[in-house]
Structure 1
Amino acid sequence: MSQHLSLSDKPKWLMPVAAIGGLLLVILLALGVLGGASKIEPGTAAVAARSVPADAPTVRVTRQAAAGTSVWQGSVRSRLAIKIAPKLNARILEMPAHPGDRLKKGQLLAKLDDRDLQAAYNAANAAYAAAQAQAAQAGADEKRIVDLYQKQAATRQNYDAVMAQAKAARAMANQAASAAQQSKVMLGENLLYAPFDGVVGERFQEPGDMAVPNQPLLSFHQPDDLRLEAAIASQCAAQLELGAAVSVRIDALRQTLSGTIDEIGPEIDPQTLTQPVKVNLPKTPGLQHGQFAWLETRCQGPQTVLLVPISAIVRYGQLQAVRVVEGGQWQMRHIRSGKRYGDQLEVLSGLRDGETILLQGELGQ
């Protein structure tokens, strides 16, 4: 009986072990543990140095002062944003306005049940008519008593009594007229109209619900005059000035807009130690009331950072590198960048203060 083993008869665990061993060997070689004592300086690619062309521009990297930037969460709000609420208790009959509708000033937003108001208006008008009749009768009596008194046909007591009654009747008529006018005004409150050209935001109640005074039915805003509203630390707000330019990042648009500070709230929140700040925003396609945004302000003390010109950066996909010059030769070195300051970029690691780099990123590799 043959004792030879075929390749398929070998233990199945040998192949995974061999693969793991090969991977460890590659890692050790890459780290420099095996294959020699020489290692590549961190941040420097393993490429041979090349001579620097005679006319190649260079720049010496130095640390520079840069103001710290803080970012504050906020939201885009319309300068003119209101909530529409009724002045009376009544059931909602109609609400033709829906969220997102663009309406002109004077268009109907909601209609309330006005039967109680109509009854009150009719009663007020009836009371006014009665008061007018009494005032007219009192006026006629006043004229007669004056004539009789002048002819000494009426006593002073009768004269004073009739004059007082006429004056009271006129006062009652004026009061009834005011009540009728007020009832007429209240009768018009059953119809709620758009106070300006704008957009319906949110409906808080629906037809059939009972409207209550000062309880909003819907929100309404003007979409063309927008600004950022944010609460920032009071020590930061103290360094801001009205009209100063700031940056506002709109995540939904993937844009950073330049705005101007329009308002700085005078009061500090005792719990959060923040102050409200409002920033005017330019008209921008896609910018909408309620969008999430970030306010960027320079309100920290100055700090020194290592800056390099953006034109000196060489990009390899997501990686960044610069060409470091030393001894008349240049060598590629990877870097890790931070914030951008105009046409310069902060270098967090990969470069040291005082090193020289090639300025033109377009130089052949």
Structure 2
Amino acid sequence: MVKQVIKITALVGMSSYLCLTTATEMVGEYYEVHTHEVSPPVSVSGTVIPKKEVTLSAQLPGRVELIAGEEGDAFSESTVLVALDDRELLAQRRAAIADWRNAQATLRNAGIQYSREYRSPDSPEKAPGGMGLPHLFDQFVTKPLSDLLSESDDSLDRNANLYRYGTQVEQAQGTLMQAQSRIEQIDAKLRDAESQAPFDGVITKKLVEVGDTVQPGQPLLQFADIEHLQLEVDVPARLVSALKVGKTVTAKLDVLSKRVNVTVARIFPVADRQRHTVKVKLDLSLDTDEQKYISPGQYAQIDIPDIKAAGQQKLLLVPTAAVDQGSSLPSICVAKGNNQYETRLVRLGQTMSSSQVGEINPRFREHEFISILSGLKEGDQIVVTDSSKPTPCVTQH
């Protein structure tokens, strides 16, 4: 009998030592229980939307020659998504290049004619016959005598000829500029014949098929960035004062089993005149495993704090991660000090997001909270652990 008592005592002592050692290793974070004044939130319906979405439309009339892919296909920025038939434009460009070359030749000829007139006036009118004697007679006798008798003005004639050839140079320059502008205009139309991806994204909807004839302004396809999602919600005007850009609230999506935090990204400045609501966009930040189930168009419910509610509730709140609901009754592990822990059975109330709680420890900002109706008091130190790890209280038992 004495030997059995000694064995039991030794086993109890060894288990207590192992319990304290294990509890010390497995303690998570401590959270001090506080009472918070909480405003009941208002759930508002919203929709998941892509952060960036465009509708590519035809800029020119023509026939669709190319569509890069189908709905759901991903493309990088600057990829050609839709191309129209550009054979007529290419023919016009070749004709414009020919006009440009002709204008260049005309400009060179006009420049040479001006230079010749400037250096050698009246060259076409000079008579080379008679060993140059008629020309010499005109230069030294006829023209000076004509100028003297005021029948002609040689300098005025020369200036008029220079002005005429100078005008031809300017006209040739204008023609060349017109030809160059025509080429640039056609190049712009050739660019408009192709619709490129403005950013990395996927085709969300095709509105035409290869072979369709389109007109300017006709939608071709919708393209969106679904890697970065937002929630769009029409918030009643009386609730907008509780929101500001950068504020975090919670939302419930149909495809997820838990609420997620969303951040106010934009509050539109004008309310809808018919519905008296204000459009608000919220950034949705999720990990890769969660985001693969979410797509634009899905339904969501956003919790908006109602700061104008008639009264606020004072609730004793703890992180939901601190509650062990594995047994028949929910319990929480309370730290007593000196590596001692106690399991408390509690009665649970409503669940709410951290955005409704107000001022809390930043380390618990990502947690959901639940109200405690009985079993805890303000100031208790409770243990918050990861759901995959047991609490020290479980280890002690």
Do these two structures clear the TM 0.5 threshold for a shared fold by scoring above it? yes
Q: SS at 1:227's partner residue?
A: strand
Whether the aligned pair in 1 keeps the contact of 2:36 and 2:316 (CA below 8 Å) is no
Q: Tell me how far apart the structure 2 counterparts of residues 213 and 244 of structure 1 sit (CA, whole Å).
A: 43
Whether the aligned pair in 2 keeps the contact of 1:73 and 1:293 (CA below 8 Å) is yes
Q: 1:138 aligns with which of 110, 119, 124?
A: 110
Corresponding residue of 2:169: 166
Cα distance change, pair 314–172 in 1 and its aligned pair in 2 (3 A): closer
Corresponding residue of 2:54: 82
1:288 counterpart = 2:295 = yes
Q: SS at 2:242's partner residue?
A: coil
The one-letter amino acid of 1:288's match is S
1:30-49 matches, within 5 Å, as: none
The one-letter amino acid of 2:294's match is L
Whether the aligned pair in 2 keeps the contact of 1:77 and 1:228 (CA below 8 Å) is yes
1:159-238 matches, within 5 Å, as: 159-238=162-241
1:94 counterpart = 2:97 = no
Whether the aligned pair in 1 keeps the contact of 2:254 and 2:299 (CA below 8 Å) is yes
Q: SS at 2:110's partner residue?
A: helix
Q: 1:122 aligns with which of 77, 88, 94?
A: 94
Q: Tell me how far apart the structure 2 counterparts of residues 227 and 187 of structure 1 sit (CA, whole Å).
A: 35
Q: Tell me how far apart the structure 1 counterparts of residues 200 and 239 of structure 2 sit (CA, whole Å).
A: 36
Cα distance change, pair 305–316 in 1 and its aligned pair in 2 (3 A): farther
Corresponding residue of 1:297: 304
* CA apart distance, 1:305: 4.6
Identity of aligned residues (%): 25
Q: 2:45 aligns with which of 29, 53, 73?
A: 73
Cα distance change, pair 104–336 in 1 and its aligned pair in 2 (3 A): closer
1:265 counterpart = 2:259 = no
Q: Tell me how far apart the structure 1 counterparts of residues 55 and 234 of structure 2 sit (CA, whole Å).
A: 22
Q: SS at 2:189's partner residue?
A: helix
Deviations 1:236-277 (A, max 9, x none): 223311111111211122332101111111122222222221
Say what the alpha-carbon RMSD is for the aligned residues. Answer: 3.5
Whether the aligned pair in 2 keeps the contact of 1:312 and 1:359 (CA below 8 Å) is no
Q: Tell me how far apart the structure 2 counterparts of residues 290 and 163 of structure 1 sit (CA, whole Å).
A: 68
Q: Tell me how far apart the structure 2 counterparts of residues 187 and 135 of structure 1 sit (CA, whole Å).
A: 28
TM-score (norm 2): 0.60
Q: Tell me how far apart the structure 1 counterparts of residues 107 and 327 of structure 2 sit (CA, whole Å).
A: 96
The one-letter amino acid of 1:299's match is D
1:275 counterpart = 2:247 = no
* CA apart distance, 1:227: 1.4
Whether the aligned pair in 1 keeps the contact of 2:67 and 2:81 (CA below 8 Å) is yes
The one-letter amino acid of 1:71's match is S
1:250 counterpart = 2:253 = yes
Deviations 1:143-180 (A, max 9, x none): 12222469977522222122122112101101211111
Whether the aligned pair in 2 keeps the contact of 1:233 and 1:274 (CA below 8 Å) is yes
Q: SS at 1:141's partner residue?
A: helix
Q: Tell me how far apart the structure 1 counterparts of residues 177 and 323 of structure 2 sit (CA, whole Å).
A: 86
* CA apart distance, 1:297: 0.8
Whether the aligned pair in 2 keeps the contact of 1:232 and 1:274 (CA below 8 Å) is yes
Q: Tell me how far apart the structure 1 counterparts of residues 114 and 271 of structure 2 sit (CA, whole Å).
A: 66
Q: Which runs of 5+ in 2 are unaligned?
A: 1-34, 124-153, 331-346, 354-367, 378-397
Deviations 1:34-86 (A, max 9, x none): xxxxxxxxxxxxxxxxxxxxxxxxxxxxx985313122222222222111222
Number of positions where the alignment pairs a residue of Structure 1 with one of Structure 2: 275
Q: Tell me how far apart the structure 1 counterparts of residues 39 and 376 of structure 2 sit (CA, whole Å).
A: 24
Q: Tell me how far apart the structure 2 counterparts of residues 104 and 97 of structure 1 sit (CA, whole Å).
A: 13
Q: Which runs of 5+ in 1 are unaligned?
A: 1-62, 321-334, 348-356, 361-365
Whether the aligned pair in 2 keeps the contact of 1:68 and 1:301 (CA below 8 Å) is no
The one-letter amino acid of 1:231's match is D
Corresponding residue of 2:138: none
Cα distance change, pair 172–292 in 1 and its aligned pair in 2 (3 A): same
Q: Tell me how far apart the structure 1 counterparts of residues 100 and 44 of structure 2 sit (CA, whole Å).
A: 61
Whether the aligned pair in 2 keeps the contact of 1:121 and 1:187 (CA below 8 Å) is no
TM-score (norm 1): 0.65
Q: Tell me how far apart the structure 2 counterparts of residues 224 and 79 of structure 1 sit (CA, whole Å).
A: 8
Q: Tell me how far apart the structure 2 counterparts of residues 192 and 201 of structure 1 sit (CA, whole Å).
A: 15
Q: SS at 2:266's partner residue?
A: strand
Whether the aligned pair in 1 keeps the contact of 2:249 and 2:261 (CA below 8 Å) is yes
Cα distance change, pair 263–314 in 1 and its aligned pair in 2 (3 A): closer
Q: SS at 1:168's partner residue?
A: helix
* CA apart distance, 1:116: 2.0
Corresponding residue of 2:29: none
